[in-house]
Amino acid sequence: MIEKILPDFYRIEVPLPRNPLKVLNAYLIKGQKRNLLIDTGFNMEESKVALLESLKTLGVNLAQTDIFLTHLHPDHSGLISAVATENSVIYCGELDAYILNATHTVSYWSELKILFGLHGFPQQDIDEVISKHPGCNYNPDRDHVFSFVKDGYILNIGSYRFHCIETPGHTPGHVCLYEPNHKILLCGDHILDNISSNISELGITDPLGNYLRSLEKIERLDIRLALPGHRRIMVDVHRRIYELKKHHDNRLNEVLCLLKNGTANAYQVATLMTWDFTGSWDEFPLPQKWFATGEAMAHLLCLYNKNQLWIVEVEGKLAFALIT
């Protein structure tokens, strides 16, 4: 489906088969000399066909089209190999660009396995969950050369003037685009309307703290319309920011309460946290256990950085305990 948002500004629905998110919102801005495609979809045939057909319907010449990745995840980056030409510039935050290319290496996944193992994820399940990981299956076919963007970088496309805003949290190098004249925010997965973004980039010192600081950065902007990477467009993004801050505050308090019962690692905490899933922890699909463990880790690290927890070693695993 294609939806016209403003003159020369379109939302393109790209299907994400067998994924609970169902659809990616890609965005296209047409300019006099260059077009800009924001995010792409999974590197799989159904997503590729839908994206290319939509671009063809809009009369897009790929040789005159640049690509902007809000972040590295494969539902946003997977198809850059299919749409980028030798003339295309691919914009991305520097950390995410580095990690995206690193996902083509064995060492990246080996280090991720070690890290999750240290935080309690069952060793017998790690190889299976990695084999099902979207980053293993739906990423771009090869490494790419990226043009790095930072706070204040400006992209002029047609009548639109987009300001890049670094918003680390969901990923280390997540970047939003803000158009001050139209008061539009292209927010990737930084802010979603009826679901909370997964915060689980392990190996980062304080991913949740970064995310909350990024929310405050966006909260200061005058925004009329927020265009997310998934689900519906938001007209009151400041209300949603308040809800997300409250959600994570409740999560942090929940984790503190759970640790009153004793020291625990991230996997153990994840099994006890409240999730939007009707079944028991044992009924969770394995990939969801992986992301839940990462989410628990992000909250534990945030509390550690607030000097409310300390890290101890228990049976070769990293665990957390209350500071009393």
- Contact 96/172 with Cβ under 8 angstroms? yes
Residue 175's nearest CA partner among 145, 200, 154 is: 154
Distance in angstroms (rounded) separating the CA atoms of residues 126 and 135? 14
Backbone φ and ψ for 307, nearest 5 degrees, come out as: 60, 35
Domains belonging to the chain, first-starting first, are 2-107+136-244 (3.60.15.10)
Q: What is the pLDDT of residues 164-206, one digit of tens each?
A: 999 999 999 999 999 999 999 999 999 999 899 999 776 678 9
Q: What is the pLDDT of residues 290-320, one digit of tens each?
A: 999 999 999 999 999 999 999 999 999 999 9
Distance in angstroms (rounded) separating the CA atoms of residues 260 and 280? 22
Per-residue HEC secondary structure of 226-272 comes to EEECCCCCECCHHHHHHHHHHHHHHHHHHHHHHHCCCCECHHHHHHH
Q: What is the pLDDT of residues 246-299, one digit of tens each?
A: 999 999 999 999 999 999 999 999 999 999 877 889 998 999 999 999 999 999
